[in-house]
Structure 1
Amino acid sequence: MDTYAKRLHNPFNGVLQVVANEQIRALSFNGVDWELQFKCTTPRGIGYARIGRWERSAGFKPFPLDPSIDRSAVEAAHGVIVAALETAQVPLPQDDYYEFWLLEDRTRQPLALLASCRQPQEMRQATIHPAWKCISASQLELDNTPEEARRGLPPLSYRLEQQVKYCAGQNPQAQWFLRAADGTGQALNAAGEGVSDVLAASHFPPLLLRETWAKVAEQDLCARYLQRLAPRLLTLQALSLESRDRVEQLASRYAQEVAAHFHLYPAIADTQRMTALRVEARLRSACL
């Protein structure tokens, strides 16, 4: 049984938990509710059919099954995956070490992470447009400031996307890297072969987007977006203790989201701070 977590990119929106074998897989965005999918042949080829949901407190709840799918095979497979889910401990390990980075136009250094995968064949099969995306400001409830609203500026997410697009240049380039445990990255060609010197870990933005910008307004846009994303960024397993402490501070404004994601955090930098945020979240929920 394969168990792993994979980052959700472009826009980055947390981590997908996966438990899978050759026949069946279970996927979860929150580590609590799992959707079970059975591998089968469809008119379009090999695909996955949704067969039910599972959670620890309620057990397995099947979906109506397409008559073309072998019910006995599904029943045999789902028993195996449910047994694995009952013992799985989230967060599952993140091992999507192949990373596809949008490059800064002038320096050709990593600017923003576009995608990641676990196996070199996934890298070779991927077709990814070199354009970085934000979660929309409306989804994040990330409003413009009164001054920005007075000036009629577009939403923050749109402006940040354009900022990154401009930094990537008129002919944006992206590069695959294989990241090592120490954070260094080996640039790879389309065949998965190393093509240049290894880049130091410091060249790769720990929050998946470059944080240093030349103009104050650009810096502010980036900082506001990353702060709003902080409760989800804490699910990243490669964060250093220093970076994790900084992101925990950024996330302090969003106690309820921190509480919702807390069981997916692989480490805690400041236990006292995080405990206080979870208490605050419970108090806020009690007042609703």
Structure 2
Amino acid sequence: MSPYYGIRRLGPYLGVIQVIDVGDACAYSTNGHSWRIRQQTASGRFRWGVPHAAGTGNDPVRITNAPKLVEALERHPPVPFPIRDRYELWLLRQETRKPLALLSTRYRAEEMDAVRDPHWRAFPTTDSGFVSPTLLEREAVSSRQRHPSHRDELENMINMASRPLPAAQWFERRPDGSGIGLNGLRLVKNETGRMLSAEAFPELLVSEDWPDSNMCGLIDDYHNWCAGSLLAHQNLSVATRKRLERAACQRPTGLLAVYPLIPEILDKDAIDIALVSAKLMNAC
């Protein structure tokens, strides 16, 4: 089994991380250049070691008591690594019992934990910067003096679609995109072991199937806001990747941070212009 793989960070979504796992030590990177080290102690517990280690260039990697990790870092293949977190935890839509929003992922079956909190979160608690053009347009014609934050409105919409008793289920995704249902929370008869087609799963983070145009617009705005990180996902459709590239170019600093992890670029000229803009913005 290869020690090199990528996983998606969720709960809330924080993009894709690269992993080098040699068993008793691991290295993690969000950009493919700098690595954070985690090593196993004599007691069997893991602790964070050297904050960052260069895995490229002429500087040798210096890590104490982890020769296998040093070798793996010095010889790692180009990023991005294949994404391997095929076990996915989905919040279920109450009406259809189909996947609604992605809550978590795991690389190995034994890492799947019991579902205790099925609440979906769009961003970390301290991140309140999300702005939805759809909601701005609606607010412009509203007589209300105060409106909920766009993050809160997004989270409320998703979580309300799973209530009154939210259910969540682990699925093992197959190479063709289909998934077999595993354990979860508040599952009903025959849901454990069920097989869902690839079309039953949202391609990105949350379902884009909603009865109202404002709802659909809000979900589009959320995915567009996360577009830079979402471009690091693999096996996206061409149409989705094109749309995400256009959105990512509107927020170039976010694109610059994840650019090394993007497996495929469709409009290289547009992306290059956005990257130059991001570098200029960072230099100011």
Distance 1:98 1:207, change over 3 A: same
TM-score, L = length of structure 2: 0.84
> What is the CA distance between 1:138 and its match in structure 2?
6.1
Does residue 154 of the first structure (1) align with residue 184 of the second (2)? no
SS at match of 1:36: strand
The number of residue pairs the alignment matches comes to: 268
Task: Check conservation: 2:128, 2:151, Cα contact below 8 A.
Answer: no
Kept in 2, the 8 Å contact 1:137–1:157? The answer is: no
Residues 62 and 70 in structure 2, CA contact (< 8 A), matched pair in contact too: no
- In the TM superposition, what whole-angstrom CA distance separates every residue of 1:2-34 from its partner, at most 9, and x where no partner exists? 111111012111012111212211112222221
Given that 2:94 and 2:162 are in contact with CA atoms closer than 8 Å, whether structure 1 keeps it comes out as yes
**Structure 1 length-normalised TM:** 0.83
Residue of structure 1 aligned with 2:164, choices 141, 154, 170: 170
Contact 1:137–1:143 (CA<8 Å) still a contact in 2?
Answer: no
Taking the aligned partners of 1:225 and 1:19, their CA distance within structure 2 comes to 30
Structure 2 partner of 1:185: 179
Q: CA deviation at 1:239?
A: 1.5
Give distance in 1, aligned partners of 2:47 and 2:122: 30
Q: Is the 8 A contact 1:9 1:115 kept in 2?
A: yes
Alpha-carbon contact 1:186-1:194 (below 8 Å) kept: no
Partner in structure 2 of residue 141 of structure 1: 129
Give the distance between the partners of 1:221 and 1:213, measured in 2 at CA: 10
Matching residue within 87, 100, 109 for 1:120: 109
Q: Which has the higher helix share?
A: 1
1:1-288 alignment to 2 at 5 Å? Answer: 2-41=3-42, 46-52=44-50, 53-55=52-54, 56=56, 60=61, 75-77=64-66, 79-88=67-76, 89-123=78-112, 125-136=113-124, 139=127, 141-143=129-131, 145=136, 147=140, 151-189=145-183, 195-286=192-283, 288=284
How far does residue 162 in structure 1 lie from its aligned partner after superposition? Answer: 0.8
Aligned with 1:139: secondary structure?
A: coil
SS in 1 for 2:6: strand
Equivalent-residue separation in structure 2 for 1:167 and 1:127 (angstroms): 18
In 1, Cα distance between equivalents of 2:11 and 2:49: 28
The change in CA–CA distance for 1:61 and 1:183 in structure 2 (over 3 A counts) is same
* Counterpart-to-counterpart distance in 2, 1:32 and 1:149: 50
* Post-superposition offset of 1:142: 2.3
Separation in 2, partners of 1:219, 1:235: 23
* Residues 89, 171 of structure 2: 8 Å contact kept: yes
- 1:155-192 residue CA offsets vs partner (Å, 9 max, x unmatched): 111111111111001101111111111211122246xx
CA distance in 2, matches of 1:251, 1:140: 19
Q: Which runs of 5+ in 1 are unaligned?
A: 63-74
